[in-house]
Amino acid sequence: MEYNTTRSNLILREYGRNFHKLVDHIKGIKEKEKRNELSKTLVDMMKVTQPSFSDQSEVEAKLWDDLFIMSDYSLDIDSPYPIPEKKSKDDVSKRLDYPKNKIRYRHYGKKIELLIEEACKLKNEEDKEAAVIHIGKIMKSFFGMWNKESIDNNVIVENIKELSNNKLTIDVEKVKELNLFHKVTRERGSKSYHSKKHHHKPNRPFRKRRMQ
């Protein structure tokens, strides 16, 4: 009887211990022709047990690579593909570190901070304002996903100023008057909006929307 404490570590855990035992068995066969034959059979078995590989390109090459890896690169056979090189400890990928910077407003998420960071790089003031309007709409939408009540436009503007270290801002009264942070199909703060005439209702005066 085998105990887990006496078993060797699996090199590729996804194939299980039985496949590793078969690889060890093939390594012990003296006739190379027999090793070649059994290796091909084993690769076919690996393909059956890994259905996720069926839609991937270069499946065969990967399976043969895995076969050599499970043998610790010591299997002497004629492979139809180039034999992979054994990786040193230095080549092993390091574990990715978790981001150390805390998200200041979780209901907005990290992407908003990245958008603001990019908007701060803009040189043209009109481009900056357009970016603030776009970011404000997203922030209002994200806030609504976390909370049932709506968020005041003043709060959004102040949050943008804070997250941009006072590099980005917009006139709050303008935001309220034109409802710039309300998500609609057409940008109410854009030049195209002001340049177009409301031909479908030409005589209707502009009415201020209720403040959000």
Name the residue among 207, 142, 139, 211 with its Cα closest to residue 175: 211
Place of tokens 């499970």: 70
pLDDT for the residue 186: 42
Place of tokens 């390594």: 27
Neighbours of 138 (CB within 10 A): 17
Place of tokens 């059979």: 41
Q: Which residues neighbour 137 within 8 Å (Cβ) at sequence distance 6 or greater?
A: 180, 181, 182, 183
pLDDT for the residue 143: 84
pLDDT for the residue 141: 86
pLDDT in tens, the chain (212 residues): 444 444 567 888 878 888 899 999 999 999 999 999 999 999 888 887 766 655 455 688 888 999 999 998 999 999 888 888 887 655 545 555 555 566 778 778 788 998 999 999 999 999 999 999 999 999 988 887 777 788 899 999 999 999 999 999 999 999 999 999 986 444 444 444 444 444 444 444 434 444 44
Q: What is the DSSP letter of 203?
A: T
CA distances from residue 115 to 36, 77, 153 in whole angstroms, order as listed:
56, 54, 18
Q: Which residues neighbour 75 within 8 Å (Cβ) at sequence distance 6 or greater?
A: 23, 26, 27, 35, 39, 67, 68
